[in-house]
Structure 1
Amino acid sequence: MADATRSTLYRPLTSRSPDEPHRAATPLELFFDLCFVVAVAQAANELHHAIAENHLGQGVLGFLLVFFAIWWAWVNFSWFASAYDNDDVAYRLTTLVQIAGALILAAGVPRAFEHGDWKLITLGYVVMRLAMVTQWLRVRRDDPPRRATATRFAVGILLVQIGWVLRLLLPPQWGLISFFVLVVCEMLVPLWAEHGTPTRWHPHHIAERYSLFTLIVLGESVLAATVAIESASGTGHTTALVWLAAAGLVIVFAMWWLYFDRSAHDLLTSFKRAFQWGYGHYFILASAAAVGAGLAVVADYDTHTAHVPGVVAAYAVAVPVAVYLVSLWLLQICPHHRGLVVYAFPATIVLVLLAPFTPAPIQVIAVLMAALVAVVVLAGGPRSVDLPGRRA
């Protein structure tokens, strides 16, 4: 009994097997994901209001920057957990510290959007990064074959985080340039650290983790649109809002269907392809979140509370839908499909981008998305779906 207790309190943080059967997301990982719901909702809400108030450039740029901060924090934890989750007390406590940092990040989203004040988001990152460096130092001690890899991760994460803190001291005109420089440094750290003896992440587990986060973001899109339509109800525009709600649901349902048509784990056959697939998901996830904000903008337009023309409001939905389709096409459709399906995506993307010039743009986009799903179902051949929590 004493030995069992000690093993629960502390286990060496050594690499898990990438061939481990029935590997699925843990309750702690699911809890981590749910805490990111707050941050995603904050970012989508700020984008909605920025576009509705005709602050397009500021709103879109702010959303892309803030969403990167949200997404990258999630990516750092998820890939580490895929290789090293030993579920001892120390690991759990360190992860809970990261969750606290994520909530601080979420609290800082409105400030970053409205005033360009990144102090609170940076503080959240400091909390998360101290916990992540602690985890990598544990790996350095407990996993000798990957000691150099863990050292590079710890040093790289720490140095870049120091860069983010120092960025707060720069004059405002250097803010955007320094942000993009540090983003590049962030994305180079894993590529540098994994050189040599790489970590042993689990392909099924990684595919499931991204699937779960995609579900969360799609759910946020539904929630954002629902809240906007609910707040606009009773304004004498019931018919328009009902049609918007129906079209919005079809669009989000189609996005879900297209993403989950096939499992992506068989695409993660090398580090190069895994990094491309993982990094490319920024565009899938950001665009999925933006669709909800766009639907909320259209609800404002239909109730005459938005300060943008109808075409701009429609493009608030059409552009993120098109980006979602382009990203999905490149990352998951082309590697899985041949023939009609591969050509149907570009055709749909073009038509989606033309839809804002039609009398009922959101309904047209919904019809186009439903038609694309039909093409995928009828011409895509047998599917190999790996739903979260299930293994083929």
Structure 2
Amino acid sequence: MTNAVERYRHGLSPMRGRSLHEQHRAATPLELLYDLVFAAAFGVASTQLVEGVAAGHGGAAVGAFAFAVAAIIWAWINFSWFASAFDTDDWLFRVFTMVQMAGVIVLAIGLPAMFASLEEHGAFDNRVMVSGYIVMRVGLLAQWLRASREPAYRRHALTYVLFVAVAQIGWVIVAWAPLPLGAAFAAAAVCWLIELGGPVVAERKGDGERRGTPWHAHHIAERYSLLTIIALGETVIGTLAAAQEVSHEKGWSGDTVVVIGAGVAMTFALWWSYTVMPSGPILAVHRSRSFVWGYGHAFIFVSVAAVGAGLHAIGFAYRHEDPLATPVVILMIAIPVIVFMVSVALLHSYLVHSLMRGLLLHAIAMILPLLGIVLAFGGLPLWVCLLVVLAGPVLVVVAYEAGGWRLAQRHLDEALGGAVTGRPHGAA
């Protein structure tokens, strides 16, 4: 009967730090539900980017997209690291998490207004977005205040409370003060620095195993992997949208087949190359490498979502009225693919503290998306350029599976310092 009570009871529990060495720690159903809201937010941002570029507001749309996705990612990061360290799964934790989810929905509702303000008026209207952030901060601050009742982590929690509260006040000022566009961006940059600085300061407090909050290495690695998959969902949605538009304009032609095939293959190739990164084992042994790894993932998330928007833009290239030029579409796909490939390679090298030497194919793979851009400006058909861009991440996968994994394994063994690499998932 004890197990049944533990399974169904969600009464209040003291919020103490989770064990660093907890076995078989995995994402919870609540965390997966939380991610679902972010899938919708990514979708809104990607759609706004495509529509902005198609309307001739490319520069403003790209800037708005970068700001929007950065805000979405940061909201996700705040919750995920907290939950990894302090998740109690009691009813109050669930309620405060759902409050944060509601804030994400409000933030997503505000994205079109923010895009429109930059594209049409050169202003910066993020009031609805900030309103969503206020809702999220209410839930997050309440969680940190609960955690502050644990003496071992009181200093950490209160430091987070201070930084989150100060940053939120700054965002309110940016949203509602009548600032010129340049001043608004400068103030927003200050707010971002405060946001990013909170974890840097808080995680340096304490000594030994009490240094920093007790996040779980394998759990947080899985959480980041899951958000990468969420972002990759935009490549599937973009492929479907493009295929529908191309088939509507041209019927089921060879172009339609190439769009579908290349989009699906792009999703597989990006996912496959990402899974090469040995995040969990390295973070379990070298926790200090989490800052660069965690913040560096922002480039991965942004680039993957942008690839989805680029694949969607293919459909706009086949419109009868005002079609997007092939170079524009290829730029929208190739540039984020390059950012993704470089980010994964750099983060992988940072984690193992060794450059991926001896893999010439990796260097060639980085060049292929650039070649796709050159071919697009040279007047080649879109489908040819798209396949050349796709060849980049595909070649990374081929290089790894054809033997590059041996070098990667050697680097991993050296980074772990002789630790056993085949431990069960969840063992730190």
Pair in the same fold by TM > 0.5: yes
Contact 2:362 2:395 in 1 (8 A): no
> Equivalent residue of 1:273, what SS?
helix
1:194 to 200, 203, 208: 203
1:295 aligns with 2:319: no
Contact 2:245 2:315 in 1 (8 A): no
Alignment of 1:66-215 (within 5 A): 66-115=68-117, 116-141=124-149, 143-168=150-175, 169-173=177-181, 174-197=183-206, 198-215=212-229
Cα deviation for residue 233 of structure 1 reads 2.0
Q: How many residues align?
A: 387
1:40 aligns with 42
Structure 2 gaps, min length 5: 118-123, 207-211, 413-420
Cα deviation for residue 69 of structure 1 reads 0.6
Decide whether aligned partners of structure 1 residues 213 and 305 sit closer, same or farther in structure 2, where only a CA change above 3 A counts.
farther
Decide whether aligned partners of structure 1 residues 334 and 247 sit closer, same or farther in structure 2, where only a CA change above 3 A counts.
farther
Q: Which amino acid aligns with 1:371?
A: L
1:312 aligns with 328
2:13 aligns with 11
Cα deviation for residue 261 of structure 1 reads 2.6
Deviations 1:306-361 (A, max 9, x none): 554321221111000000001001012564574334x4333322221121222211
TM-score (norm 1): 0.92
> Percent of counterpart pairs with the same letter?
36
CA distance in 2: counterparts of 1:7 and 1:248, whole angstroms: 45
1:344 aligns with 2:361: yes
Decide whether aligned partners of structure 1 residues 333 and 257 sit closer, same or farther in structure 2, where only a CA change above 3 A counts.
farther
Q: Which amino acid aligns with 2:198?
A: V
> Equivalent residue of 1:195, what SS?
coil
Contact 1:48 1:293 in 2 (8 A): yes
2:236 aligns with 222
Structure 1 gaps, min length 5: none
Decide whether aligned partners of structure 1 residues 152 and 305 sit closer, same or farther in structure 2, where only a CA change above 3 A counts.
farther
Deviations 1:209-232 (A, max 9, x none): 000000010012211221232134
CA distance in 1: counterparts of 2:246 and 2:104, whole angstroms: 31
CA distance in 2: counterparts of 1:353 and 1:215, whole angstroms: 25
Contact 1:241 1:299 in 2 (8 A): no
Deviations 1:47-66 (A, max 9, x none): 11122223221011110000
2:121 aligns with none
1:276 aligns with 2:276: no
TM-score (norm 2): 0.85
CA distance in 2: counterparts of 1:119 and 1:166, whole angstroms: 10
Q: Which amino acid aligns with 1:26?
A: T
Cα deviation for residue 303 of structure 1 reads 3.5
2:53 aligns with 51
CA distance in 1: counterparts of 2:288 and 2:323, whole angstroms: 45
Cα deviation for residue 262 of structure 1 reads 4.4
Q: Which amino acid aligns with 1:87?
A: D
